[in-house]
Amino acid sequence: MKILLIEDEAELRKSIKLYLHQEGYVVESANDYVKALEKISIYEYDCILVDITLPKGSGLDIVRELKKENSKAGVIIISAKNSSDDKVSGLDLGADDYLVKPFSLAELNSRIKALNRRKSFDGNKTIEINEIKIIPDERHVSVNGETVNLTSKEYALLLFFISNKNRVLSKNSIAEHLWGDDSDQMDSHDFIYVHLRNLRKKLTEKGCTDYVQTIYGIGYNFKVNL
């Protein structure tokens, strides 16, 4: 999952990024309103964590902009403001959740997971695509009942494919999802092929159908008939 953290408090931003990285997320950050707008105009995210009070602008205006652009990103407001008016305003603008500071990082992680289930998997704690079964909270993948041991990038790639099944995904979108801003510095997308090759090998070794179709010159399609 690719997350944008919009938070001006340096220590809090650092601790959240470190924790979420350790949980396997790709995390980018912005420390003010202007930088946040730049990022959401260029990149796509699965989840956006946004503080209300920011230098150079308001987090609520960022939520307005996301909804104006019909962004598919889930939005969680993280704020020291605990008034009911602020909560109502944020949720009415289109935010999916509201978390009051100070909060535990474990609770934030739980909110992110719950939001991802609602947005991508109809709220289900278990994802089943034919012979593939995934339990996201446990990062567990099995095929025909047999556990498949995946690296963090292989797991993220599989979830990205499944959440976008039957859609053509460009190599650029896959690279951005797996590596965030760092993908801009890479000379080629050969690394995607390496991770994809390993993922397909591990799945098919357990008897899984190879659902990945290569769309030459464009990207890949996780083609599934349910």
Domain boundaries, the chain: 2-121, 127-222
The percent of residues in the chain predicted with pLDDT above 70, rounded, is 94
**Structure confidence at residue 157 as a pLDDT band (50, 70, 90):** very high
Residue 188 three-state SS: coil
**Which candidate, 58, 75, 141, places its Cα nearest to that of 112?**
75
pLDDT value of position 193: 86
Q: Would you say residue 183 has pLDDT above 70? A: no
pTM of the model: 0.73
Q: Would you say residue 80 has pLDDT above 90? A: no
Helix (H) or strand (E) holding 26, with range, is: strand 26-30
**Structure confidence at residue 192 as a pLDDT band (50, 70, 90):** confident
Contact present, 79 and 12 (Cβ < 8 Å): no
Contact present, 4 and 45 (Cβ < 8 Å): yes
**Structure confidence at residue 108 as a pLDDT band (50, 70, 90):** very high
**51-72 pLDDT tens trace:** 998 999 999 999 999 988 888 8
What CATH code is assigned to 127-222?
1.10.10.10
What kind of architecture, by CATH, is found in domain 2-121? 3-Layer(aba) Sandwich (3.40)
Most confident among 126-130, 137-141, 208-212 (mean pLDDT): 208-212
Separation CA 163–CA 155 (nearest Å): 12
Q: How far is CA 203 from the centre of its chain?
A: 22
Backbone angles phi, psi at 22, to 5 degrees: -65, -25
Cis peptide before 55 (omega within 30 of 0): no
Q: Is the CA virtual torsion 135, 141, 145, 149 positive or negative?
A: negative
Q: Would you say residue 136 has pLDDT above 70? A: yes
Separation CA 60–CA 53 (nearest Å): 9
- Residue 4 pairs with which residues in a beta bridge? 28, 48
User: Of residues 119 and 26, which shows the higher confidence score?
Assistant: 26
pLDDT value of position 92: 86
